[in-house]
Amino acid sequence: MHLSVLYRGRLSSCNYDCGYCPFAKTYDDRETLRRDAEELARFVSWAERARHPLSVLFTPWGEGLVRRHYRDAMVRLSRLPHLRRVAIQTNLCVGLRWLDEADLDALALWCTYHPDQVDRDAFLGRCRKLDRRGVRYSVGMVAMREHLDEIEAMRAGLPAHVPLWLNAYDERPPGYYSAAEVERLALIDPHFRYNLDPAPSLGAPCWTGENVISVDGNGEVRRCHFVSERLGNLYDGSFAAGLRERACPNACCDCYIGYVHRKDLPFQAEFGRGLLERIPLRQAWAMPAAAAGR
C-alpha cells in the first residue's frame, strides 16, 4: 500500500501579511511552538517505522520553514528509503542551505509568490538558487485582477520547466474575472479553470480515505482537510480499519489539495509523482505570441 499523508499541525503563524489570508501576521506563543515541534517529531518517528511506501505533504496554516523543526523533518523524511515524496507549502522566505542535507530525489517545494510581500527579482533569485541545487519546485500565485501583469511577468521570469499554478481569488464577487482575463490566466495555468469553477463533487469518486489521509498534530486521521469524518488515530493504528473506497460527501471541492485526489479528474494521470508538489509530468511553457506582444 502507498499512503499519501496531508499533515497539518497546530502551527498558524506567518511572517507575511497578505490581505487575503486569515493567518497573516498571526503569532504562535512559545508553548504552541513547543507542542507543534513535539507533535511533528512524533509524526516523523511514525513515518520512520512505517513499512509501506509513503508520501507526505505539509500544509501548515502558517509558514513552516521559518521553524527549524519543519526543516529538520523535511530532511529526515527525505532520507527514508520508503518515502516517495515529501513536500511543503512555503513562501520561500528562508535561507536554502538546509536543503544540502536532504535527499533531493524525494524532496520538493510548493512555493507561493506574494507580490505585495516580496520583490519579484528577489523571489526569482531564490528560484535560481533552487535550480542550481537541483530542487524540484513549483511556483504559484493568487490570481487577483490587480496582479495580472505581475503574473505574466513572473511566468516570463521563471524557467520553462517550472510550472506557475494559479488559485482563483477566494473573496471574488460574481463576475470578478472577465472572459478575456480567464483566457489570459488559462494560458499560464492550463488547470486554472478547475480552481475557478470546480465541478460538482457530491458523489464523485475520490482517493481520500482510501490511500490519502489528513492528519493533525494529535494524530487524528480524517479522509481530507475538508471532510470532518474521523477515521481513527495514526499512532494506535485504528485509522487503518477505516481505509476504503469512498465518494465525496461535499457539494463542491474548490481547493487543489482536495480535488486533485478525485478519480474522475485528470490530475493523477497528468501529475503522476508530482501530484503533491503541483508539478505536472510534462512542463515546457512558452509565452504565446499574443501575450508576448501585450
Write the pLDDT tens digit of every residue in 190-218: 999 999 999 999 999 999 999 999 999 99
pLDDT at 291: 46
Are 159 and 130 contacting, i.e. CB atoms less than 8 angstroms apart? no
Write the pLDDT tens digit of every residue in 168-189: 998 899 999 999 999 999 999 9
Residue range of the domain that includes 26 = 3-292
Write the pLDDT tens digit of every residue in 89-120: 999 999 999 999 999 999 999 999 999 889 99
Q: Which residues contact 27 (CB under 8 A, 6 or more apart)?
A: 13
| Domain harbouring 125, CATH code | 3.20.20
Q: How many C-alpha atoms does 202 have within 13 Å on its Cβ side? A: 2
Are 231 and 214 contacting, i.e. CB atoms less than 8 angstroms apart? no
Mark out the alpha helices in 88-197 (DSSP H runs).
Answer: 120-133, 148-157, 179-188, 192-196
Q: Coil, strand or helix: which one is 166?
A: strand
Domain count across the chain: 1
pTM to 2 decimal places: 0.93
Give the number of other Cβ atoms within 10 Å of residue 247's Cβ. Answer: 13
